Structure 1
Amino acid sequence: MWLPLLVKRLNHVDMQKQGLQLTAEEIYNVNNASLKDAIVQFGGFCTGEFVSKEGLLLTNHHCGYDAIASNSTPQDDILKNGFWAMTREQEKKNDGLFVDILVRMEDVSGQVLQGITPQTPEQERTKLVAERSKALADAAKNNGQYVGYVRDFFNGNEFYLFVYERFTDVRLVGTPQESIGKFGGDTDNWMWPRHTGDFSVFRVYMSPDGKPATYSEKNVPYRPKHHLPISMSNLKEGDFAMVFGFPGRTTRFMAGSGLGMAVEQSNPVRIKLRERRLALMKEAMDASPADRLKLASNYASISNYYKYFIGQNEGIKRMKTLDKKATEEKAFQAWADANATRKGLYGSALADINASYAGQRNYNLSAIYRSEAALAPQLMAHAFQYTPLYNMLKAGNVDKAKLQQLVEGYKEMNKEFYASYVPSSDQKIFAELMKMYYQDVPKAQHADIFKDLTTTYKGDFKKWAADIYSKSLLASEAKANAFLANPTLKTLETDPAFKFVRAVQTNYQDNVLPKLNEYNAALGKANRLYVAGLREMHPDKVFYPDANSTLRLSYGTVKGYEPRDGVEYKYYTTMDGLAEKEDPTNPEFIVPAKLMELHRKKDYGRYGENGQLRVGFITNNDITGGNSGSPVINGRGELMGLAFDGNWEAMTGDLVFDPEYKRSINVDIKYVLFVIDKLSGAGHLVNEMTLVDKGNPNTVFNPAINDVKMNGKVEIETPEGQIKIKKKKNETKIKKETKKQKS
């Protein structure tokens, strides 16, 4: 996950060897248009890319999910049925949604660390770094013109300033049906082969003078400095692939003691707790079809990360990562101890790291059991959501308007919660998880409420659970809403469910979290010194920094893999595989009738080849959370697809990169265009894009003018110039403008 700013110095030669045909300046350039100008951070949590000069933007369906859901109503459920704006006027506004477009990034390590030495006290260092980072970011904002922030790299050894333009008028242009955009659901999550059409379409708007602006009908489409051309060529194994985006967070410099805590303590506990929850939920689902429907989504979600933790542990064991870390750390210690100066600076780094994790292990179970056991049952998680109301009532002098606003929010939340709440199953889960909590968490770290278990209920977890679930007003929608009609502090704080979660949370905040923070504080300095020492120890090795939600690129190739002996995965999937997965009785595997009809007829239009339509493909690019929606770009700088997931066999990715098994799962751009154009009849959006075949614009890809479903204006770029089309009902006017030749 490389910084684009440093590609020319660190990566460009290697990228060319793998098939890159662009210059480093065509990838990142502050003064001229480059690939970085086509990439946006979408909503602060995903990635998107411009695909037309009119601000048309692609990202994942799951990235646009909230915007799609917010624009859905019972009468017009576009989340379920899909939506396509046939005119600009039909595009839907989205309050609170924004995109950030990078203006520049700059190494400011010298300014942030000026005068700071290894002898600077840690508290003073932290204060100076924070003050200087803020000052640099504030200056870069240019009185509100830009968004700016400074991020640390290599565990606080380097600092970079990032300056963005933020656009807040981002409108929904189109989305496929949920059965396409979320096909396979949580069952297929992290799995290959995959057949999910995980994309949605937005458009960014600006003020008429070209500046960011809040929503207004007077705003005009944003004109990016660069938009990605669309590759219409079928990709093949070995093709160069580059992913550009905003990966969230990795911790790959973590020492063996930290990795050991994850593999030996954290993950096994999470797996054990989720395994028991899933078993109890399955009992309820098997016994009642109605309960199966209520619990299906939550079951899949819990199972999702159950798979993740298992995959992460198996990957680390398969790669023998702990053994490799031990060897690496032994060599580091010998190197540090071999020189008096190095020993004084780095000699105790690993010992301090190990001591910190040893201390954390003593409190780690309390932290995990809080989230995975105490707050895991449906009722307890719901009761915890009432904490803001509790805080407001406890503060006194309640603002009636704010209280009413909060209450209305709870009423809406209650509708959703009780629609999927199964009290009998949840009560069993609470009793079982509390028994595991009581047995596994050190008694000295138990919340005081566990005294009720021994005094009132004589250690009977089932009686304790039955009492809470029968007496809590939050266990009933009618009682909960009756309480909300006249909420009082006394009623809430004496409710048995809220009383339980409040006791657990207070105990965590007072007795567990301070200890974890104390050990983490010592860990920060030790990690910084360890990483600095590693880089000094290997001066010829090119290191990349951990992901931290800043713009990065990774490069590799289109490549299949063999996950197990005798099993080989091809690098792409097709509509044939999607049709094989169809199951009309399972909401995760429903296929729209029209899509199946087009498949049966092999009617893929210009997007198929040799009787096939490709749906997804995989590359060995390094990605993680935040890369969702990232463009997968070929060696000519053309869009091949959108990254949307990683594979289960390489769940180690946040902790350690697996060069053999790591794959990025991507939706093929030609499947995206097929769904937009052939399936949904929104070909006018495809006409906005620049479609190319092996780098050459091909006018064959433009449909007949009278086939364009539009009522207004459209502009089409050609090698010779620009075609402007005005269409009103059956009348079409075409004007061709030829590019002026340079003398």
Structure 2
Amino acid sequence: MINLFSMFLARKSRLLRFSITAFAAFSISSSAIARKGMPVPATLSKIQKEMIAEGLDIPVSKLYNTRGTGLNNAVVLFGKGCTGEVISSEGLLLTNHHCGYGTVQGLASVGADYFADGFWAKNRNEEIPCPGLTVTFIRSMEDVTSRVLANIPLEMNEKARDSMIQIRIKALENGYRYTSKKDAQIRSFANGNQYWVMITDTYKDIRLVGFPPNGIGQFGGDTDNWSWPRHTGDFSMFRIYAGADNKPAAYSAENKPYHTADFFTINTNGYKEGDFTMVYGFPAQTQEYVSSMQLAQVVNIVDPIRIEARTRRLDIWTKHMSADRKVFLQYTSKRAGVANGWKKWQGEVRGLKLNNVVALKQREENIFQSWANTDSSAAFARDLLARMQVISASSDAALAASEHMREDVLGIELIAQGAELDRVLKLIQSMTGTSAARLNDTLAFISAASEGFYKNYDAATDKEVFAALMPLFMEKASAYVPEYFRTELARFGGSYEMWADYVFGSSAASDPVKMKGLLASGNIRAITEDPAWKLYAAIMHLKNEKVAAKLNAYNDSMVRFNRLYMKAQMMQHPELNLMPDANFTLRLAFGHVKGLDPDGDAGYSFQTDLDGAVAKNNPEVAEFKMPARLLELYREKDYGKYAVNGTVPLAFIADNHTSGGNSGSPVLNARGELIGTNFDRVWEGTMSDYYFDPRWCRNITLDIRYTLFIIDKFGGAGWLLNEMKFAPAPSR
């Protein structure tokens, strides 16, 4: 992985040099503050004038309303961590390739290698059910802050406060479920200073419709990930199925495609630099109002530990995946997930350091402190920053140890499987006196469930990871190493390879048949003598004894301090209507198509195309190996109606604020029409989870014309276009 990352850096002629302005975000730059946070769709009327001034060409009521006719009814939470959009009246759903990756891995096999060959249903009968996959619609949102927080003192004890709030939330949710006949969930916003209820529908019968091969959907792989220019056809297609009443239903062959009048019109007329754009979806998490102390922990402790451990793990996974196609299929989804964070954190640290964001935060805090010292309404905030500073500094060592345990030790899959053995052990102990038949049934269920893990596990690969990560842990977390680890390493003369040989040769967790048998047997002695359980138990015992209590106390304190700090910031600047950080709820961000030239050599633009993708084609490198059919279409210039200036537009960038969870989000033009699917951010701007700067932050979008080109000309699934609605061509 180091070599891949070096390739990425080598493509840049010079290191990016950011110009740091003398800037205090809260008091000086109101325009920068206007872009902080992500708007809740139900509050768009408050910023409608600003959006229209920026280029919006429709009323915000078309983007969101409670009448059931807003475009919020065409956006879904896809699975547990992505966004998707409905693009036909028959429930056709578009999202990212990497969002569908885990689901497709469960459907694929050596005989049905959808990663190598792709998948395209030729009719609805060929659409494949996806067990466990769900999509959730947000039908409406309502601010219930006044009902949740009524008569609760600001400085009330946190435990008592939470107890009161949870009682109120439960009662309110039940009331909304009764009146709406739908699901209802109340979520906390602005660090517990606001509460919103979401009225939702969750559909459970989702079927695979189209999935490009990796040579399109993952073209560029980790080398191009988080970077620009980009040439990845990152999309996949599914369909929502419903019961006879068009409502959510469990899978049934009798279910029908979900019917809706709310879906996105597709616009293939293109765009130009400066055009207004919007991203509608479920951004996972931003922390733009975080203190300088917490941000320093990210920059100096958390991210560097994760990067180093994952570099070692990914190097080994890549080697084994390259040597064995079976291992590739087992690890391709896992590797994509691990590598995604690995590269993102490198860009995040770099951007935060180059922008000197910790120092900028400290300037903000100095201004805040001056305000708190003199404003009579802010007496509760006068010592907030001082207390946050003390408790943050005292937690640094425990925070580092926790990250090393998670990334170094539990990054070894065999040790992580020790958790399953521990679960069985605790289950047996808790069911003492239970009938043997009930206990055996429970153990058999757990045993059968383990098959899912071993379908995607290779012991030889994991054994090498053990030999690479354990020395990292022993060296870097020396004050938090279990005595059992030290004893075992000494027993093998300090050789991590010999230690790995013993562990993987002796543990049932390294073999699916042995593990299944051990889980089903409930043999307490065999479990407690298994090396995987011993390693897991030892690290968890030390974590619980020396780390967890300190971190729990720290986190509990920071929950309170962050709530009060956020409340104080809202009081400090009531005129700015500060938007809450992302929290995996529906948001709409807006910006403009805008190029980026991070090296200052005028080498990059706002758009890429198929010509640029083919120029990267390299059959010797899996990440850059294009399918033969796509190369054939290129040679013959067989682009059909998707041709623009002798090629096919592929991707573009804009300065919309996005986060994890926005993967698969619809990217819309000024009229709310679909022009692409969001799939990434540029590396220079991955700091945006903590600090959004429109000079450098860009979201990367797959052009809808390239998506349609692949569906129609490459996949031969043009029948799908017949159910889509297209915006008319501009009059001439």
Pairwise TM-score range, normalised by the shorter structure:
0.7 to 0.9
SS at match of 2:661: coil
SS at match of 2:535: helix
CA contact (8 A) 2:447 2:517 kept: no
- Higher deviation after alignment, 500-509 or 350-359: 350-359
| Post-superposition offset of 1:662 | 0.9
- 2:629 is equivalent to residue 594 of structure 1: yes
1:400 maps to 440
- 2:196 is equivalent to residue 156 of structure 1: no
2:33 maps to none
Among 207, 213, 216, the residue aligned to 2:249: 213
| Post-superposition offset of 1:65 | 2.3
Among 694, 697, 701, the residue aligned to 1:659: 694
Q: TM-score, normalised by structure 2?
A: 0.87
SS at match of 1:230: coil
Trace 1:165-180 onto structure 2 (pairs within 5 A): 165-180=201-216
Seen in structure 2, the aligned counterparts of structure 1 residues 448 and 131 have a Cα distance that, compared at 3 Å, is farther
**In structure 2, C-alpha distance between the alignment counterparts of 1:392 and 1:466, rounded to whole Å:** 30
- 2:509 is equivalent to residue 509 of structure 1: no
- Higher deviation after alignment, 559-568 or 622-631: 559-568
| Post-superposition offset of 1:379 | 3.7
SS at match of 2:603: strand
One-letter identity of the residue aligned with 1:230: I
Seen in structure 2, the aligned counterparts of structure 1 residues 307 and 296 have a Cα distance that, compared at 3 Å, is same
Trace 1:2-21 onto structure 2 (pairs within 5 A): 2-9=39-46, 11-21=47-57
**In structure 2, C-alpha distance between the alignment counterparts of 1:233 and 1:217, rounded to whole Å:** 38
Larger strand proportion, structure 1 or 2?
1
**In structure 1, C-alpha distance between the alignment counterparts of 2:199 and 2:221, rounded to whole Å:** 36
Unmatched 5+ stretches in structure 1: 699-743
- 2:582 is equivalent to residue 547 of structure 1: yes
- 2:471 is equivalent to residue 432 of structure 1: yes
- 2:263 is equivalent to residue 227 of structure 1: yes
Seen in structure 2, the aligned counterparts of structure 1 residues 660 and 124 have a Cα distance that, compared at 3 Å, is same
1:491 maps to 526
1:668 maps to 703
2:457 maps to 417
One-letter identity of the residue aligned with 2:58: L
| Post-superposition offset of 1:260 | 0.9
**In structure 2, C-alpha distance between the alignment counterparts of 1:489 and 1:229, rounded to whole Å:** 60
- 2:236 is equivalent to residue 197 of structure 1: no
CA contact (8 A) 1:393 1:488 kept: no
**In structure 2, C-alpha distance between the alignment counterparts of 1:139 and 1:688, rounded to whole Å:** 38
Seen in structure 2, the aligned counterparts of structure 1 residues 463 and 175 have a Cα distance that, compared at 3 Å, is closer
SS at match of 1:70: helix
One-letter identity of the residue aligned with 1:421: T
One-letter identity of the residue aligned with 2:711: I
Among 677, 702, 714, the residue aligned to 1:642: 677
Trace 1:54-93 onto structure 2 (pairs within 5 A): 54-93=90-129
CA contact (8 A) 1:242 1:633 kept: yes
**In structure 1, C-alpha distance between the alignment counterparts of 2:714 and 2:326, rounded to whole Å:** 32
CA contact (8 A) 1:374 1:433 kept: no
- 2:73 is equivalent to residue 37 of structure 1: yes
Give the % identical residues. Answer: 35
Trace 1:307-322 onto structure 2 (pairs within 5 A): 307-322=343-358
SS at match of 1:568: coil
1:706 maps to none
| Post-superposition offset of 1:301 | 6.0
| Post-superposition offset of 1:256 | 0.3
- 2:186 is equivalent to residue 147 of structure 1: no
1:607 maps to 642
- 2:333 is equivalent to residue 305 of structure 1: no
**In structure 2, C-alpha distance between the alignment counterparts of 1:485 and 1:102, rounded to whole Å:** 42
Among 564, 587, 590, the residue aligned to 1:529: 564
- 2:646 is equivalent to residue 622 of structure 1: no
2:369 maps to 333
Among 287, 290, 296, the residue aligned to 1:260: 296
SS at match of 1:657: coil
| Post-superposition offset of 1:546 | 0.6
Seen in structure 2, the aligned counterparts of structure 1 residues 542 and 126 have a Cα distance that, compared at 3 Å, is same
Seen in structure 2, the aligned counterparts of structure 1 residues 124 and 504 have a Cα distance that, compared at 3 Å, is same
**In structure 2, C-alpha distance between the alignment counterparts of 1:85 and 1:280, rounded to whole Å:** 36
**In structure 2, C-alpha distance between the alignment counterparts of 1:88 and 1:206, rounded to whole Å:** 14
In terms of Rg, which structure is larger?
A: 1
SS at match of 1:86: coil
- Higher deviation after alignment, 580-589 or 389-398: 389-398
CA contact (8 A) 2:269 2:730 kept: no
Seen in structure 2, the aligned counterparts of structure 1 residues 293 and 48 have a Cα distance that, compared at 3 Å, is closer
SS at match of 1:670: helix
- 2:620 is equivalent to residue 581 of structure 1: no
| Post-superposition offset of 1:459 | 6.3
1:133 maps to 169
One-letter identity of the residue aligned with 2:45: K
| Post-superposition offset of 1:467 | 4.4
Seen in structure 2, the aligned counterparts of structure 1 residues 192 and 335 have a Cα distance that, compared at 3 Å, is same
| Post-superposition offset of 1:520 | 1.1
One-letter identity of the residue aligned with 2:43: L
CA contact (8 A) 2:444 2:519 kept: no
| Number of aligned positions between the proteins | 688
**In structure 2, C-alpha distance between the alignment counterparts of 1:166 and 1:679, rounded to whole Å:** 32
- Higher deviation after alignment, 646-655 or 393-402: 393-402
Deviations 1:344-399 (CA, angstroms, capped at 9, x unpaired):
x2112212222331232131121011012122235434444544344444445563
Trace 1:377-396 onto structure 2 (pairs within 5 A): 377-395=412-430
Root-mean-square deviation over aligned CA pairs: 2.9
One-letter identity of the residue aligned with 2:650: V
Unmatched 5+ stretches in structure 2: 1-37
Seen in structure 2, the aligned counterparts of structure 1 residues 596 and 253 have a Cα distance that, compared at 3 Å, is same
| Post-superposition offset of 1:596 | 0.7
One-letter identity of the residue aligned with 1:426: V
**In structure 1, C-alpha distance between the alignment counterparts of 2:347 and 2:386, rounded to whole Å:** 29
1:725 maps to none
Give the number of the structure with larger relative contact order, counting CA–CA contacts within 8 Å between residues 6 or more apart: 2
CA contact (8 A) 1:427 1:466 kept: no
Deviations 1:583-620 (CA, angstroms, capped at 9, x unpaired):
22333222111111001111100011121101111111
Seen in structure 2, the aligned counterparts of structure 1 residues 611 and 87 have a Cα distance that, compared at 3 Å, is same
1:723 maps to none
